[in-house]
Amino acid sequence: MNKIISLKQYGNSENLEILEQAIQPPNDDEVQIKQSAIGVNFVDIYFRDGIYKFPNLPGVLGVEAVGEISAIGKNVSGFTIGDIVAYAGFPIGSYVQYRNIDARRIIKIPTKINSKLLAGNFLRGLTAAALLFHVIEPKNGMKILVHSAAGGLGTILTKWAAHLGIEIFATVSNDYKAEIAQANGAHHVINYKSQDFVKKVLEITNGKGVDYVIDGVGGDNLRDSFRAVRQFGIVANIGQITPIAPINITEITNIFVSRPSILSLIEDAKIYKSLAKKYFDFVVSSGGFEHGHDYAFADYQAALNLLEAGKNIGSIRLLLG
């Protein structure tokens, strides 16, 4: 039997339940994956809460996982049973033990990469690659402000940007997270609970602001970010932990604003594979992943609650036996 985590109705994690279904064979263009680890991401919470909608309910959360190919459809080539693979993106539905998925969505994991730790980092790694290579052209010495720099995405962005020779301004919520951001290469770490990050950024940059801001918070944090970027700099919003109110066009005078959607971007198979290669190359060259947080499959509520509370350091994953 295949255990799945099913969402009955939109709301909190109590609306999720574990069900059992028969394991179905893959369709002709699909592979079946016996999943070993499932990534937990903020987009899962958006779907759980109903900010993003399923076509209908009940539905299954999750947009990434890793595992072993256990069956192959008759039209699929290039893979064999036992291959260790990862996938990220649509269609949603990774909170399961066995997953049948279009073979075009899966990517073999290089042997030098820890497949278990890739879960929870894969979508974030693709997002970081898009933010660092699609939205901008990275240049040695440019200045970037990364919000929530000790979280799952922020950790990857900080390490990767430092690897590229970028000067990193990082916001965090406490001293422990400040130490993590600094260890990952941040040059200027700002505790936004006790400091005004806009004032601090402008002070360090002699009133000019940074070249690029990456905001995954939304709300007032996004608006404040407009004041921390230089003229004709870029602000990229990639999340809305706090709802984003309508923005008046005058608020973004002489600023470029982007709201990139990684899930839409990686629908293009060529871009998907290109970003994955960039990320895998970075992981190998940088020495691997932060460990993050491991939860048993049945402890999905605790995993989602940790993420929603902003208490995670690095990635979160559900492990299957």
CATH number at residue 118: 3.90.180.10
Reported as a single tens digit per residue, the pLDDT across 205-257 is: 999 999 999 999 989 999 999 999 999 999 999 988 788 888 899 999 999 99
pLDDT at 22: 96
Sign of CA dihedral 112, 118, 122, 126: negative
pLDDT at 26: 97
pLDDT at 165: 94
| DSSP-assigned beta bridge partners for residue 236 | 214, 258
pLDDT at 288: 75
* Same domain, residue pair 165 and 240: yes
* Same domain, residue pair 6 and 117: yes
* Same domain, residue pair 12 and 85: yes
Reported as a single tens digit per residue, the pLDDT across 104-126 is: 999 999 999 999 999 999 999 99
DSSP string, 109-132: PPTTS-HHHHTTTHHHHHHHHHHH
CB neighbours of 179 closer than 8 A, spacing ≥ 6? Answer: none
* Same domain, residue pair 219 and 301: no
| SS3 category, 10 | coil
* Same domain, residue pair 198 and 289: no
Residue 131 amino acid letter: L
* Same domain, residue pair 200 and 309: no
Torsion of CA 107, 69, 22, 19, to 10 degrees: -60
pLDDT at 37: 97
Residue 132, Ramachandran bin (φ over 0: left; ψ between -120 and 50: alpha; else beta): alpha
Domain assignment present for residue 128? The answer is no
Domain CATH number, residue 156:
3.40.50.720
Give me the residue label for tokens 């998907």: 272
Of 5-19, 37-51, 301-315, give the lowest mean pLDDT range. 301-315
pLDDT at 287: 78
pLDDT at 253: 95
Please say whether the beta carbons of 49 and 10 come within 8 A: yes
- Give the pairing of strands 64-72 and 30-39: antiparallel
pLDDT, mean over the chain: 94
Measured from the Cβ of residue 57, the count of other Cβ atoms closer than 10 Å reads 13
Tell me what the mean pLDDT of segment 284-305 comes to. 90
Pick from 216, 218, 198: which is nearest to 208 by CA?
198
The first and second tokens of residue 245, run together, are: 């109110």
| Res. 321: pLDDT tops 80 | no
* Same domain, residue pair 104 and 219: no
- Please give the residue range of the domain that contains residue 48: 2-123+264-319
Which of residues 259, 274, 300 is at a domain's end? 259
* Same domain, residue pair 147 and 249: yes
pLDDT at 1: 94
Domain assignment present for residue 130? The answer is no
Query: Does pTM top 0.95 for this prediction?
Result: no
Please say whether the beta carbons of 157 and 186 come within 8 A: no
Domain assignment present for residue 162? The answer is yes
| Res. 127: pLDDT tops 80 | yes
Domain assignment present for residue 222? The answer is yes
CB neighbours of 206 closer than 8 A, spacing ≥ 6? Answer: none
| DSSP-assigned beta bridge partners for residue 96 | 4
Reported as a single tens digit per residue, the pLDDT across 145-199 is: 999 998 889 999 999 999 999 999 999 999 999 999 999 999 999 999 999 999 9
Measured from the Cβ of residue 320, the count of other Cβ atoms closer than 10 Å reads 18
**Across the chain, how many H-helices and E-strands are there?**
10, 16
* Same domain, residue pair 15 and 102: yes
Which of residues 238, 259, 280 is at a domain's end? 259
Q: What is the DSSP letter of 242?
A: B
Domain assignment present for residue 41? The answer is yes
Interior CA angle at 78 toward 74 and 83, to 5°?
95
* Same domain, residue pair 119 and 268: yes
Domain assignment present for residue 287? The answer is yes
Domain assignment present for residue 129? The answer is no
Which of residues 259, 277, 306 is at a domain's end? 259
* Same domain, residue pair 117 and 150: no
Residue 102's pLDDT band, with cuts at 50, 70 and 90, is very high
* Same domain, residue pair 59 and 108: yes
Q: How many domains are contained in the chain?
A: 2
Domain assignment present for residue 229? The answer is yes
Please say whether the beta carbons of 2 and 280 come within 8 A: no
